[in-house]
Chains A and B, each alone.
Chain A
């Protein structure tokens, strides 16, 4: 054992690059909601890219190290303290045996990532260490951390502290976001006005925002009249249960769209009107309650262009930190 949890934070889980390949039986990919920041944390401490990190939602944990290590905190602006002394974010630093890592209040963003040299060495389940709490799978006992947990840390190759991500490559977390979406799926079920309202509205993230989905409030959307298909359910927003893409935007009852994230429910009976493009999923993951969002429509080519730009940024990050 190499790390003891003194205080768990609000919803701190072990995550990595995820668990692809089981969505057909309802097991979602899981993994860090902000993969960019999670990768940065691993690079800073000299870990493999798929090493497991801690994802801290809104609030940091309090952790005691039972052995020396190199640590980095990225993602949300959640200022770390070591033995009460401030430590930087997006920069690796050394911890000694017995040191306690704690955090100030969140300044911006939603999820901070803590990487420790060697990675969190919890058992690999279906190819990943990621926690999928709905299915009690992965991480520490398939759940968020609790006080008293002990986390094993893998062997490190001796990464030096003092690595830093250049300012231009650090994520920022504005109070207003534009999230790009490809419309489609069941958007034909919206009236023209409903579709316009979806793209025009300023949506505000509610407190119902977790690893499964992000629920927004801001406008009521109108659906076209129809005769309910057999098996669909009577509400105009019901469909015969269908698969849900990661990032898809469903609108139960025509109010409060929900963007599904990496712990998505894999299917269900609500109309989806579009999907957040892969390049912008990190930004959704860094959205905290009360921030405002506009959904901006792009086509497939626009989405693929954004994906290439993100890949270039990941490559620049690797170059800068190695």
Chain B
């Protein structure tokens, strides 16, 4: 199962530069867990996992541009 970006923009793993990442490989997630932010038009959109399980891999580097539908994380489903 993958978590994809719902929109094009800049991918952020942290809520702010000083904070810890929302999730790391091994983090448990539920459907409503916020896993990343995507920024576009000066708006920060919260990406939710949309599924339950544990984060397997982070597919995009922090602050990279992503397209809509691009895989951000892979998830081991529980």
Footprint of B on A, CB under 8 Å? 10-11, 57-59, 105-107, 110, 207-210, 288-290
Contact = CB atoms under 8 A, between A and B. Distances in A.
Given A105-B69, A290-B65, A58 B8 contact: yes
A59 B9 contact: no
B40 A58 contact: yes
Contacts of B69: 105-107
B34 interface: no
Interface in B1-59: 4-10, 39-43, 45
Interface residues of B, number: 17
Interface of B: 4-10, 39-43, 45, 65, 67-69
Nearest 4 CB-CB pairings of A with B: A106-B68, A105-B69, A58-B7, A207-B40
Contact of A10 (B4, B5, B7, B10): B7
B8 A10 contact: no
Contacts of B67: 288, 290
A49 to B, nearest CB: 28
A262 to B, nearest CB: 15
Contacts of A210: 41
A289 B9 contact: yes
A107 B68 contact: yes
Contacts of B68: 58-59, 105-107, 288
Task: With a 10 A CB-CB cut-off, give which of B39, B43, B68 has the most chain A CB atoms.
Answer: B68
